[in-house]
Chains A and B, each alone.
Chain A
Amino acid sequence: MRLKYAAMLLIAMCFLSCSRTSDVVEVQFWNFGGMPKFLDWIRKQVQVYNNTHPKVRVVLGEKSWHQIREILYAGFSAGAGPDIMTLHADHAAEFGAGGYFYPLNNFPDFEQVKQRFEPNIMESTRYNGNYYGLPSSAIVFILVCNKQLFDAEGIAPPRTWSQFREAAKRLTKDLDGDGAVDQYGLVLLGGDKGGFSYRLAPLMMRAGVKIMSNDVTKFEFNSPRGVATVKLLADMHQIDHSVTPGFLAYTLSEINDLFCSNKVAMSIEGPWFQQLVEDKNPGKEFYTVPVPVPDDLVDQYKTLPSLQDMVMYPISAHSKHLTETWEFLKYIRSAEADMLYIDHKTGGLPTTIQVLNSPENAKRKAWDVYDNEIRHSTPWPAHPHIIPIVKNILAPYGQKAIIGEMTPQDAMDAAVNEAYALLEEGR
Chain B
Amino acid sequence: MKKTALIVLMLVLASLVLLPFLWTTATSFKPLTEVNKHPPEWFSPNMSFEPYRDMFFYLPFSDYTANSLVVAGAATVLTLVMGSLAGFAFARFTFPGKRLVLLVLLLSQMLPGASVIIPLFQLVTAAGLYDTLVGLILVHTAIMLPFVIWLLYGFFSGIPREVEDAALIDGCSRVSALWRVILPLALPGLGATALFAFLGSWNEFFFSLLLTTSDTARTIPVGIGLFVGEYQDVWNQMSAAAVLFSIPPLLLFLLVRKTFVKGLAAGALQ
Nearest Cβ on chain B to A67's Cβ, whole angstroms: 6
Q: A17-B132, A30-B213 are in contact. Are A279 and B235 (CB under 8 A)?
A: no
Q: Which residues of B contact A275 (CB under 8 A)?
A: 231-232
Measured in the bound complex, the distance between the Cα atoms of B235 and A327 in whole Å is 38
Q: Which residues of A contact B122 (CB under 8 A)?
A: 77-78
**Interface assignment of A154: CB less than 8 Å from any CB of chain B:** no
Q: Which residues of A contact B134 (CB under 8 A)?
A: 13-14, 17
Q: A71-B209, A73-B118 are in contact. Are A66 and B228 (CB under 8 A)?
A: yes
Nearest Cβ on chain B to A406's Cβ, whole angstroms: 30
B121 with A17: CB separation less than 8 A: no
For B, the interface residue count at a CB cutoff of 8 angstroms equals 34
Question: Which listed residue (A62, A253, A276) contacts B226, Cβ 8 A?
Answer: A62
Q: A17-B135, A30-B213, A261-B37 are in contact. Are A64 and B118 (CB under 8 A)?
A: no
B230 with A74: CB separation less than 8 A: no
Write the B224-256 contact mask toward A (1 if CB under 8 angstroms, else 0): 011011111101000000000000000000000
Q: Which of B36, B133, B135 has the most CB of A within 10 A?
A: B36
Measured in the bound complex, the distance between the Cα atoms of B202 and A388 in whole Å is 33
Number of cross-chain contacts by CB at 8 Å: 93
Q: Which residues of B contact A252 (CB under 8 A)?
A: 231-233
Binds A, one of B7-15, B123-131, B144-152: B123-131
A34 with B229: CB separation less than 8 A: yes
A263 with B231: CB separation less than 8 A: no
A272 with B213: CB separation less than 8 A: no
**Interface assignment of B210: CB less than 8 Å from any CB of chain A:** yes
Q: Which residues of A contact B129 (CB under 8 A)?
A: 17
Interface residues of B in 164-210 (CB under 8 A from A): 209-210
**Interface assignment of B32: CB less than 8 Å from any CB of chain A:** yes
**Interface assignment of A59: CB less than 8 Å from any CB of chain B:** yes
**Interface assignment of B55: CB less than 8 Å from any CB of chain A:** no
Q: Which of B114, B121, B230, B235 has the most CB of A within 10 A?
A: B230
B213 with A79: CB separation less than 8 A: no
For A, the interface residue count at a CB cutoff of 8 angstroms equals 43
Q: Which residues of B contact A33 (CB under 8 A)?
A: 226, 229-230
Q: Which residues of B contact A65 (CB under 8 A)?
A: 229-230
A74 with B118: CB separation less than 8 A: yes
Nearest Cβ on chain A to B42's Cβ, whole angstroms: 17
B118 with A34: CB separation less than 8 A: no
Q: A63-B213, A71-B209, A74-B117 are in contact. Are A34 and B33 (CB under 8 A)?
A: no
B210 with A70: CB separation less than 8 A: yes
B229 with A80: CB separation less than 8 A: no
Measured in the bound complex, the distance between the Cα atoms of B232 and A257 in whole Å is 12
**Interface assignment of A281: CB less than 8 Å from any CB of chain B:** yes
Nearest Cβ on chain A to B21's Cβ, whole angstroms: 20
Q: A17-B134, A64-B228 are in contact. Are A71 and B210 (CB under 8 A)?
A: yes
B132 with A74: CB separation less than 8 A: no
Q: Which residues of A contact B231 (CB under 8 A)?
A: 35, 252, 272, 275-276, 347
**Interface assignment of B80: CB less than 8 Å from any CB of chain A:** no
Measured in the bound complex, the distance between the Cα atoms of B226 and A258 in whole Å is 24
**Interface assignment of B214: CB less than 8 Å from any CB of chain A:** yes
Measured in the bound complex, the distance between the Cα atoms of B118 and A319 in whole Å is 20
Measured in the bound complex, the distance between the Cα atoms of B222 and A88 in whole Å is 22
Q: Nearest CB to that of A263 among chain B residues?
A: B38
Nearest Cβ on chain A to B214's Cβ, whole angstroms: 6
Interface residues of A in 324-342 (CB under 8 A from B): none
Write the A220-257 contact mask toward B (1 if CB under 8 angstroms, else 0): 00000000000000000000000000000001111001
A59 with B214: CB separation less than 8 A: yes
Question: Which listed residue (A13, A17, A263, A276) contacts B232, Cβ 8 A?
Answer: A276
Nearest Cβ on chain A to B16's Cβ, whole angstroms: 23
**Interface assignment of A18: CB less than 8 Å from any CB of chain B:** yes
A80 with B125: CB separation less than 8 A: yes
Measured in the bound complex, the distance between the Cα atoms of B130 and A279 in whole Å is 37
Measured in the bound complex, the distance between the Cα atoms of B38 and A280 in whole Å is 13
Given A30-B213, A70-B209, 7 more A-B residue pairs with CB atoms under 8 Å apart are A14-B134, A33-B229, A64-B222, A65-B229, A78-B126, A253-B232, A272-B231
**B-to-A contact residues, CB < 8 Å:** 32-33, 36-38, 58, 114, 117-118, 121-122, 125-126, 128-130, 132-135, 209-210, 213-214, 222, 225-226, 228-233, 235
- Between-chain CB contacts (< 8 Å), 6 pairs: A17-B132, A33-B230, A36-B232, A70-B209, A77-B122, A263-B38
Going nearest first, the 6 A-B pairs with the smallest beta carbon separation are A17-B132, A78-B125, A61-B213, A65-B230, A78-B122, A33-B229
